[in-house]
Amino acid sequence: MTKIIGLTGGIGSGKTTIARLFEAEGIPVYISDDEAKKIMLRPITVEKVRQEFGDLVIDNGQIDRKALSEIVFNNPEQLKKLNSIVHPLVKKHFDEWVKQNSHHPFVVKEAAILFESGSYKYCDKVITVTASEETRIERVVKRDHVKPEEVLQRIKNQIPEKERLERSNFIIYNEYKTLAKEQFLQILKILKNIH
């Protein structure tokens, strides 16, 4: 039975770096955000979003992500509605993906909102990637060309770091790439021995 390893972490923690290390080892990695974006392009999703949020969030037959994010960004109720459309579709897609990769002893599901979405319940183990708030803000400012205040706001919208760490089986402290890689290799060794 293929095990599912959850990989999560707050914005700017370096989840993608760790996901790439898994891929380099030949382990299949499901990047939830990327797959959710593809699912948002499907006609069935566009129609469900239009029914729930109206024509204002549709532009040329596609979801206007900017208009939609303005509605859901600081409104938990509206975000819940959107998630109730998208999450089941992503879950179905992920389950099919796991079946396609069932010849591997384990696969990795990378998701920023692994705990918030409840996806962690389907994982055999969870790895959280973390870094100091200062480092995370610095990384995101550089990557997304945004103001530090905006990053701080995004961090505040995610579950508290302490809670994320407490709920994880493994933690990778990703301040420096070489140290993060050492921790990754130690965890990989343990995962390879889980039966």
Binding-site entries for ATP: 12-17
Integer distance in angstroms from the first to the last C-alpha of the chain?
Answer: 9
- Indicate the annotated binding residues: 12-17
